[in-house]
Amino acid sequence: MYNQPSFLKNPDAGRRLFLQLKGFMSDTYWRDTARFLDRPLFVLPDIAFDETTVKAINIHQYLRLGNRLERFFSLIIDQSGRYEMLAENVQVIVDKVTIGELDFIIRDNKTHDVIHVELAGKMYLYDPHSDVDIKHWIGPNRRDSLAQKLTKLRERQLPLLYHPETAKKLRELGIAEQEITQKVCLKIRQFLPWQFNGFPALSYPENVKGYYVSINDFDNDYFKAYHYFMPEKQDWIVHPENGEVWLTYQDILQHIKTMHEHRQSPLLWLKKPDGTYETLFVTFW
């Protein structure tokens, strides 16, 4: 896996973490969870964090985005007052082989429900070339898709709660598995083809965060007029106004080509002279 260069001038780890948490807490919940998974959506409580509190969190600077989101989820639960974290990342082991893990087991102190929550944060691009709505949404590198993620949740992650070894593990933790309900916290950021009109099936205005173009379409006078910042993946959920080293079209093009050589579609922030921003992927395919 190619590691792109950093375009941060003076990285402040605490400030960066705070901005990532703000991005995670934004309303990008995918509201078709119940329809496809037969499980209700879990919506995190809205908490106002101050930057000082977040800076005190110990998260390794190179922790991958998925694990980073898990840490943010735990922080919000711990600070909520309403919920209590009973267990997280519960590994289920059979014959010394880990067959999966439960993301979170929490207690709702208001309803007294015990809830198994599976968390996922994804970015999907709308590929119009499909006859099935759910198959339109693919990862930026075409290596994953919304359909695959839902299948994994439905067939592997959610049923794991009912595995005999899971029941034994939960009893060790003092949790009665028959009292547990299940919910899914699925946060999705969606990107449409450049100049696409309207919202396709399974997309919502609050989830659509930008667009994507091929490298050929990026060779356009529209894009040549602006400046660009290429965030590292852990910062993909941060607002574009927080970019630091902004490059010209010609300069960013060299970095895009390097990413494409490694079969990676970079995410860019585009800055206009009027102080507005756009978010886009430039795909290698």
Name the token pair of 13. Answer: 């780890």
Whether pTM > 0.85 for this model: the answer is: yes
Which among 186, 147, 151, 180 has a CA at the least distance from the CA of 163?
180
CB contact at 8 A, 100 and 160: yes
Kindly provide the residue ranges of all beta strands, DSSP E only, lying in 26-160, ordered along the sequence.
Answer: 83-94, 97-108, 114-126, 137-138
Tokens 């929550």 correspond to 117
d(C-alpha 261, C-alpha 108), whole Å: 48
Domain annotation covers residue 232: no
pLDDT value, residue 169: 93
d(C-alpha 255, C-alpha 245), whole Å: 13
pLDDT value, residue 17: 94
Name the token pair of 104. Answer: 């979170």
Length of the chain (residues): 285
Domain annotation covers residue 279: no
pLDDT value, residue 55: 82
d(C-alpha 280, C-alpha 268), whole Å: 5
pLDDT value, residue 4: 64
CB contact at 8 A, 140 and 233: no
Per-residue confidence in pLDDT tens, the chain, 285 aa: 566 666 665 668 889 999 999 999 999 999 999 999 999 999 999 999 999 888 888 898 889 999 999 999 999 999 999 999 999 999 999 999 999 999 999 999 999 999 999 999 999 999 998 888 999 999 999 999 999 999 999 999 999 999 999 999 999 999 987 789 999 999 999 999 999 999 999 999 999 999 999 999 999 999 999 999 999 999 999 999 999 999 999 999 999 999 999 999 999 999 999 999 999 999 999
- Residues whose CB falls within 8 Å of the CB of residue 114, separated by 6 or more in sequence, listed in order: 86, 105, 106, 107, 108, 175, 176, 179, 180, 181
d(C-alpha 240, C-alpha 88), whole Å: 32
d(C-alpha 47, C-alpha 26), whole Å: 11
Using alpha carbons only, give the angle 148, 40, 83 rounded to the nearest 5 degrees: 115
Domain annotation covers residue 226: no
Total domains in the fold of the chain: 1
Domain annotation covers residue 62: yes
Domain annotation covers residue 199: yes
Domain annotation covers residue 249: no
Boundaries of domain holding 123 = 13-209
Residue 141: φ, ψ to 5°? -105, 10
CB contact at 8 A, 92 and 168: no
Domain annotation covers residue 33: yes
Q: Exposed, middle or buried by CB within 10 Å (0-12, 13-18, 19+), for 108?
A: middle
For the four alpha carbons of 25, 60, 161 and 114, in that order, the dihedral sign comes to negative
pLDDT value, residue 117: 99
Domain annotation covers residue 171: yes
